């Protein structure tokens, strides 16, 4: 019995369907009959573009009485693709040109409102999906019934996140405003936001994390996020001149809410930063990609993921967890919460108050009644 295993791998930053087997000339020649299946020297195997259709073609092509085809690793992809296909069955495949043009005008209108690039792209995306849905249903765009139906079919049934639902409501509300319709007449309540406490890394865990990072650039980036309490977007937008080593401050320009602020420049971090600067010599941005320009968010996430794995930390920490940890550790050391609010760039002290729920000293002060029983 000849065994063939279908798996997923990456080639040129794209997921591909890989066909692995112990060398067999019969299988090799049989695979060559498929037009879209080719040999890769890098993967040392045959592969094709990853899609449900290609998976079906390859699987059926390899079905022979004395061959077995395993695809267990592909099951999560198959399940996800089926859910995606079912969800997109509510949408037309392609927007008519007149609506594409309308969305471009809507996009310009949003930029004129001085919304951020990410917000504009999100609003345009959700509006595009909403229009595709309403066109498939062949109904009026600006009615409460179609908004409610879309919310149910495209958000509730596939169990989209609360944040996505809020983005949808905000995006459609702006589209209605752009077209001169009153969204308020359509009564769709925003879902309550989940109140989750942030994931905090202890001082010991932070130290262990940094000790596993040997790449100077990666260490400098993670150290900056923690030592200055920055959002990843703020860190990768930093320019060299934003570092004020004379006043030991970092100038954050036009951050969330289009606000400037200053935050701390750690003396210990300055040593790491100087070594990094000498080694990498960035030209404009403090952290730049291999081909210049800003360092990517995705690359930064991979850096943290690898560091967490090597340090043995099992908490589901993210880059934002370093910012959360900075704020919590400051609070635990007795820093006034109003100063922490300024350093983080929070508009309201209520946002900063969340860290009072996760500080160790405040919890340790509470005497557990169970201890009085013994």
218 catalytically annotated: no
323 catalytically annotated: yes
DSSP 8-state symbol, 287: S
- Burial bucket for residue 185 (CB in 10 Å: 0-12, 13-18, 19+): exposed
β-pairing, 249-252 with 243-244? antiparallel
Considering only CA atoms, which of 336, 340, 351 is closest in space to residue 195?
351
320 catalytically annotated: yes
CA angle, 273 as apex, 250 and 256 as ends, to 5°?
35
324 catalytically annotated: no
Catalytic residue among 132, 218, 231, 324: 231
Catalytic residue among 47, 99, 123, 355: 355
Catalytic residue among 90, 107, 137, 256: 256
Catalytic residue among 219, 323, 324, 329: 323
Query: Contact 213/307 with Cβ under 8 angstroms?
Result: yes
346 catalytically annotated: yes
Helices (H), the chain: 25-31, 52-61, 75-88, 97-112, 117-137, 144-150, 162-178, 203-212, 216-228, 232-237, 267-280, 297-311, 319-332, 337-344, 349-352, 360-364
Query: Contact 51/25 with Cβ under 8 angstroms?
Result: no
Residues annotated as catalytic are: 231, 256, 320, 323, 346, 355
């Amino acid at each position: 019995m000849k065994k063939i295993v279908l798996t997923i791998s990456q080639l040129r930053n794209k997921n591909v369907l890989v066909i692995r087997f112990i060398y067999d000339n019969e299988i090799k020649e049989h695979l060559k009959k498929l037009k879209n299946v080719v040999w890769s020297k890098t993967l040392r195997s045959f592969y094709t573009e990853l899609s449900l259709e290609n998976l079906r073609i390859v699987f059926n092509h390899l079905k022979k009485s004395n061959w077995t085809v395993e695809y267990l690793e592909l099951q999560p992809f198959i399940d996800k693709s089926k859910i995606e296909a079912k969800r997109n069955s509510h949408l037309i495949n392609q927007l008519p040109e007149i609506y594409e043009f309308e969305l471009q005008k809507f996009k310009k209108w949003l930029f004129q409102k001085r919304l951020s690039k990410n917000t504009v792209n999100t609003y345009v995306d959700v509006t595009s999906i909403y229009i595709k849905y309403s066109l498939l249903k062949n109904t009026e765009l600006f009615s409460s019934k179609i908004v409610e139906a879309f919310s149910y079919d495209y958000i509730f049934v596939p169990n989209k996140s609360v944040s996505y639902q809020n983005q949808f409501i905000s995006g459609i509300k702006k589209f209605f405003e752009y077209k001169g319709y009153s969204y308020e007449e359509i009564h769709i309540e925003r879902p309550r936001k989940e109140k989750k406490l942030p994931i905090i890394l202890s001082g010991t865990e932070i130290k262990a994390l940094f000790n596993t990072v040997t790449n100077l650039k990666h260490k400098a980036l993670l150290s900056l996020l923690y030592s200055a309490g920055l959002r990843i977007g703020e860190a990768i937008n930093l320019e060299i001149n934003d570092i004020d080593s004379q006043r030991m401050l970092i100038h954050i320009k036009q951050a969330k809410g289009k606000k400037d602020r200053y935050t701390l420049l750690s003396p210990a971090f300055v040593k790491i930063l100087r070594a990094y600067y000498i080694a990498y010599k960035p030209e404009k941005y403090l952290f730049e990609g291999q081909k210049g320009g800003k360092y990517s968010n995705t690359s930064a996430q991979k850096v943290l993921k690898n560091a967490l794995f090597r340090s043995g930390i099992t908490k589901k920490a993210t880059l934002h967890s370093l910012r959360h940890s900075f704020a919590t550790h400051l609070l635990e050391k007795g820093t006034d919460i109003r100063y922490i609010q300024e350093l983080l760039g929070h508009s309201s002290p209520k946002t900063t108050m969340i860290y009072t729920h996760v500080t160790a000293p405040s919890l340790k002060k509470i005497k557990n009644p169970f201890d009085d029983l013994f």
